[in-house]
Amino acid sequence: MTSSAFGEDPTCEPFGKTKDGQAVEVYTLANKSGFSAKVMTRGATLVSLMVPDKDGKLADVLLGFDDVSGYESEDNQYFGCTTGRVCNRIAKGKFSLDGKDYTLAINNEPNHLHGGLAKALDKAIWKAAPYSNDKGQGVKFSYTSPDGDEGYPGTLEVTVSFFVPAEQNTISISYTARTDKATPVNLTNHAYFNLSGEGSATVLDHMLRINADKYTPTDDTLIPTGEIANVEGTDLDFRKRTKIGARIESIGKTAAIGYDHNYVLNAPEPGAKMTLAAVLVDPVSKRRMRVMTTEPGVQFYSGNFLKGQKGKGGKTYAHRSALCLETQHYPDSVNHENFPTTILKPGQTFESKTSYTFEIDMPAPGVKSKQ
């Protein structure tokens, strides 16, 4: 893997061409420890994360493909992309705003999912501006979604910035958006993680903590009912570190066929700008991932539709061999007045930030593991 030296701008390499002939590039952001991230211009997509284990051995912990053709194939299930304009689901692809009804594509029967079809943000070719400074390396992607794209109102100017600090094994993702008409906006990254390394057989042996006392129950099409319920006493309770596979079989018998649930995150610590969303640990490699965010929710998805497709280096991505922790506003918020609003108005700026920090989960004797 080619890495960028600290103090220099991220390296840029060709990543193939799209089916319609557009060139796609991939940028490598790296720090002093060997930790690195690759991000590509199609879909402002996180392609890889090279993370050290307890012995300092690096492994790529993200599902993905070796070039852009894989991301254009049916084997791509939103791997690592920026999803929007509105991530997650909108009931029946319909919403009303300022007295006008809007109809969106039904691409997750009977609902709208992740911004729609060909004009959704994950399919766009973004403009990239790499940079470096004394704090680390980054790349800022920008894209303008025209008024009416995928049925959404307003011309939406979006930026997504990825940053790797020089002294910490972290990938930070920052979003901004501005519009000239009121429109719903809900952005996230759809990375699939396996802390044992992509292509490993399962993620069910990982330990997960989610910092949420509540979640949003759904109907059989995974649309929220509007209720905000307690996780206590349910198979969705991850307030303490819990093996992902411990209770998944009972969840697998529900409409979600596994974990595919939005958690209502607990409030941040007093004075904090971000809140802890989740902590994920691989007990073998001892890799630990801490997810911090400014968003009010996180969607935990246990890779229920992974189907054994071939990914990077021909590795097999088996059923439930990776998971997603998508920080975002709640699903279908545009149709629920009691949920935090996703409506962006002219003159406002949508801002959101999420960071994934990787550490080694080896507490000192007699000391509880860091959460």
Residue of 112, 326, 329, 336 with catalytic role: 326
Provide the mean pLDDT of the chain: 95
pLDDT digits (tens, 9 = 90+) for 308-365: 999 999 999 999 999 999 999 999 999 999 999 999 999 999 999 999 999 999 875 5
Residue of 190, 261, 329, 336 with catalytic role: 190
pLDDT digits (tens, 9 = 90+) for 247-259: 999 998 899 999 9
pTM: 0.95
Check if 326 is active-site: yes
| CA-based nearest residue to 179, from 154, 204, 211, 202 | 154
7: confidence class by pLDDT, cuts 50, 70, 90: low
pLDDT value at residue 365: 59
Check if 190 is active-site: yes
Secondary structure class of 187 (helix, strand, coil): coil
DSSP line for 193-253: B-TT-TT-S-STTSEEEE--SEE--B-TTS-B-S--EE-TTSTT--SS-EEGGGSHHHHTT
pLDDT value at residue 1: 35
Secondary structure class of 150 (helix, strand, coil): helix
2: confidence class by pLDDT, cuts 50, 70, 90: very low
Q: How far apart are CA 317 and CA 297, in angstroms?
A: 27
Residue 34: is its pLDDT beyond 90? yes
Domains of the chain: 11-360 (2.70.98.10)
pLDDT value at residue 5: 45
% of the chain with per-residue pLDDT over 90: 93
Residue 370: is its pLDDT beyond 90? no
Secondary structure class of 363 (helix, strand, coil): coil
Residue 304: is its pLDDT beyond 90? yes
Residue 209 structure tokens = 């903590």
pLDDT value at residue 362: 82
What is the maximum span of the chain, computed from C-alpha positions, in angstroms?
A: 62
